[in-house]
Amino acid sequence: MQIHRINAWSDNYIFLLHAGSVAAVVDPTEAQPVLDKLAALGAELIAIFNTHHHGDHVGGNRQLLEQFPDATVYASEADQGRIPGQTVFLNGGDTVEFCDRTATVVFVPGHTRGHIAYYFAPIEDDEPGELFCGDTLFAGGCGRLFEGTPDQMVNSLNKLRQLPDNTRIWCAHEYTLSNLKFAITVDGQNPDLQNRYAQVQAARQRQEATVPSLLGIEKKTNPFLRWDQPALQATAKMKDPARVFGRIRGMKDMF
């Protein structure tokens, strides 16, 4: 399975999964760049995997279905009525298939009440897993809590934190530099974070994408996966995981 990253709008990423003559798309912001890539690959779209209902993740569904009416649209059961063209209603622990790959559905509410992620485990031990996590986990950050609570988001992020360190994080926005600018303000003595910030600054100056990230790097540098670390607890002036997370998330909202 090949993964193609497609730019959309100002900072969205759409991901096209391609195998032979067929393809699936994750969170199509808009249809045209997906249609262009399908034409270039000579591939038929057979599936749409949506992580949540926001317009910049489902905006291309209807136009894609006009061109590929037999495509299956997967999304959360909790998002029923909010996903254009949805035909399959998923819960955490369900699995979905694309060609010879199986993804486990992870229920990760917090950003929205029905948010899910798709985790494709590696076929070989030395290969990375692939996590399509929408707006729950970002490179260096996490999504705002539009429909959920800090407790829900900590629980959701902790599920993702348990995946192998070599899992590739295919998050849906190029927010990494701004996320790390904030992270430095709450975890500034972290040498791994300092090094990453410098690397991302250089990459963005070269207009290089910073997605995918690796989960192992996120565990070392992303403050929203580090609520149990003394430096973040000191910044938040508390130790309870949800309260630490909530305080840091509130600071980011005001940054």
> How does 18-33 read in b/e, with b if 16+ C-beta sit within 10 Å?
beeebbbbbbbbbbeb
Active site residue 173: yes
For residue 242, what are its two tokens? 């949800």
The catalytic position among 27, 56, 79, 187 is 56
CB atoms under 10 Å from CB of 236, counted, come to 20
Active site residue 240: no
Q: For 189, which DSSP code?
A: T
CB atoms under 10 Å from CB of 122, counted, come to 15
Q: How far apart are CA 107 and CA 110, in angstroms?
A: 10
Among residues 170, 184, 167, 172, the alpha carbon closest in space to that of 132 is found at 170
Angle at CA of residue 142, ends 126 and 82, nearest 5°: 100
Active site residue 11: no
Among residues 85, 170, 163, the alpha carbon closest in space to that of 135 is found at 170
Q: Is 231 helix (H, G, I), strand (E, B) or coil?
A: helix
Q: How far apart are CA 248 and CA 186, in angstroms?
A: 8
Residue in the structure block whose two tokens are 């980011």:
252
The catalytic position among 27, 79, 135, 187 is 135
Cβ contact 63:40 at 8 Å: no
The catalytic position among 52, 53, 79, 115 is 52
**Which residues contact residue 79 at a Cβ distance below 8 angstroms, ignoring those fewer than 6 apart?**
50, 52, 53, 86, 112, 114
Active site residue 52: yes
The catalytic position among 18, 53, 111, 115 is 111
Active site residue 115: no
The catalytic position among 53, 54, 115, 187 is 54
The catalytic position among 18, 53, 173, 187 is 173
Q: How far apart are CA 177 and CA 101, in angstroms?
A: 32
Active site residue 53: no
The catalytic position among 27, 57, 79, 115 is 57
Active site residue 57: yes
- Residues designated as active site: 52, 54, 56-57, 111, 135, 173
